[in-house]
Amino acid sequence: MLSAEHLLVLKAAAAGCACYLLSFRLSDVLSLRLISRYRSWAAKEQLEWNGRLPSTLHALAITFITAYLFLVSSVFAKDKIGDDPFVLRTSALSTATLGFSLGYFATDLVLLAHYYPAFGGPEMALHHVAAIASVAAAAFQSQAHAYTLALLATECTTPFVNLRFLLDKGGWRQHPAYTANGMALLFSWILGRIVLFVFFFHHVWLHLGEFHLITPLSRWLIYVVPPVLFTLNMVWFNKILRGALKLIFVPKPAPGGGTEAAPAGTAAAEKKDT
């Protein structure tokens, strides 16, 4: 019989799946009514466009909840009073958050497989499989919630990736907003997907003495998945950086002739992130 905690994970996962499908459909309906050029786009472009809304909503929800759990709540506080080792600390909110993300990633992976390769490439598939394995293990085993949520917090870069795509498709590539978003993505990627991992690995090293308390599966996932995700982040960062430098330094033809410098941006950014 399922425990109350496992039922919470399943309910949250169902909610994550439902929110994904509803927002995906909502994006299609609103785009048909509000964006005149939407009908002229290829099916692949429409799929990518509609996938941006659920990924943005998920990223915003995860970012704010994770920030609350780490910065406001006492569940993962360094000076928390209690006997629970750090790797075993959980709460109803952390469990529900992991379940919600599990539903999101599972739904996105199903759509990725169904529409492959229009909805994402092999890097995205690898990212999602690693994320699902880590989130499911943490949620159902009630272990390593803090480490798993820290990895999910890297989704904070996703809104900037998605906004770059929307501005590009909306014809705003030469607008200052495109430049500002490109720089925001570049710096948020450095902080959220590179620097954060440095602190993550350091924290894991300091708490290795507690790892005998968690299952071999959880230990293996902590040892393997973060380095894989960090490698993917560096691959994507290389694309982002090269795209930004190209847009900054390579002149483009101006509307009236001659050339003008293109705004800083992220033309090579990967679909939805992460």
Reduced DSSP (H G I as helix, E B as strand, rest coil) percent helix, strand, coil of the chain, to 5: 75, 0, 20
pLDDT of residue 180: 86
Mean pLDDT over each residue of the chain, to the nearest integer: 87
Structure tokens at 67: 């920030």
Cβ atoms of residues 126 and 232 within 8 Å: yes
Once rounded to an integer, what is the mean pLDDT over residues 96-112?
A: 96
> What are the sequence ranges of the domains in the chain?
4-261
pLDDT tens for 166-199 read: 888 878 888 888 888 988 999 999 999 999 999 9
pTM for the structure as a whole: 0.86
Once rounded to an integer, what is the mean pLDDT over residues 144-172?
A: 91
Question: What is the spatial distance between Cα 128 and Cα 142, in angstroms, rounded to a whole number?
Answer: 20
Preceding peptide of 117 cis, ω within 30°:
yes
